[in-house]
Amino acid sequence: MKEFVINKNDEGQRLDRFVFRILKNAPSSFAYKMLRKKNIVLNGSKASGDERLHENDTVIFYLSDETFDRFSKNDVSYPDTAYLMPPVIYEDDDIIIVHKPSGMLSQKSAAEDISLNEICLSYVKGAKPSATGSGSSYTPGICNRLDRNTAGLITFAKTYRCAKHMADAFRNHTIGKYYRCITAGIIKDDLDLSGRLRKDPVTNTVMITDTGPEECNIKTKVHPLKNWKCICDLSLLEIELITGKTHQIRAHLAHIKHPVIGDEKYGDHSINRSFYKQFGISCQMLVCTKMVFPDDFPLDTLAGMSIETDTGDDFRRVMLCQPGTQED
């Protein structure tokens, strides 16, 4: 027999999802059979699996140790990567918000990759062992992603309830997401950009068009903060992401002939090479610098909060036009 007391990490999810996570190697048919036969019970009573769990509920598995171990054994191991943890901008019992550096994957794209997700898991598991509670079926994970070469704020949910609320908020675009970038050319006026985004899965690039499916609508607000000349005419922009599609900011700015400096996919390669040689800029100058949570966000600790981070030294050097050196 194994007994689990539901903590706040797992409250709000369905019982069957909880069972699936505990018996991660068992077929779903086995889990439902055990529920029907009362070998798995909720608060001492038979359950169907569609019940919502609450804190302090008890779920008991009346299974032999051999059966439980066979179906619950975790073959996944996470490397000790806590020392790689990027700067933590905000943390509470439900969430970590970190500043992802450029060049780091948000999530792994191949089995051998170590991404921010694994690093945060290691941090929670090692540096903060009590954060996920004992016996929790929920595996913490990131809630939003950034392109590999885009830096800035990423959220990592420690608890199931946080993951659910964050997923709802990002899907409904209720969390304000703001970026800063340096682009080629002068932009002096605010812009409200719109269009349809079409993705080419072969080249992993996107195009902005005037027609296409409704679900491909994109909207991007552009607010210029500074104009100056350094190698070429430049603009420092604050971008408000109204929708959130693949490569949206980079493609939208390139579409209006103001590519992000350092963007090898959509940018101007000649300009990029000049900035690499004089400033050592090897990735796009695009940083997610601010997230604004709505006043009615379900987690009180985050309701109405604005989380901000810095653009970094590369931005400062280019804005001051103080070149570094880089070997050709």
Q: Are 193 and 220 in contact (CB under 8 A)?
A: yes
Q: Domain 176-320: what homologous superfamily? A: Pseudouridine synthase (3.30.2350.10)
Read off the pTM: 0.73
Q: Are 84 and 109 in contact (CB under 8 A)?
A: no
Predicted confidence (pLDDT) at residue 296 exceeds the cutoff of 80:
yes
Predicted confidence (pLDDT) at residue 167 exceeds the cutoff of 60:
yes
State the average pLDDT over residues 255-279: 93
Q: Domain 82-171: what homologous superfamily? A: Pseudouridine synthase (3.30.2350.10)
Q: Do domains 2-72 and 82-171 have the same CATH topology?
A: no
Q: Are 103 and 148 in contact (CB under 8 A)?
A: yes
Q: Are 14 and 54 in contact (CB under 8 A)?
A: no
Q: Which of 16-25, 67-76, 192-201, 285-294 has the lowest mean pLDDT?
A: 67-76
Please report, for the chain, the start and end positions of each structural domain, with discontinuous segments joined by +: 2-72, 82-171, 176-320
The model's pLDDT over 50-80, given as tens digits with 9 standing for 90+, comes to: 999 998 899 999 998 888 888 887 554 445 5
CATH number of 2-72: 3.10.290.10
Cα torsion 247, 250, 254, 255: sign:
positive
- Which residue bears the tokens 């792994």? 108
The model's pLDDT over 65-123, given as tens digits with 9 standing for 90+, comes to: 888 888 887 554 445 544 478 899 999 989 999 999 998 899 887 777 778 998 888 88
Nearest in space to 230 (alpha carbons), one of 306, 296, 162, 322: 322
pLDDT at residue 175, rounded to an integer: 95
Band (pLDDT 50/70/90 cuts) for residue 234 is: very high
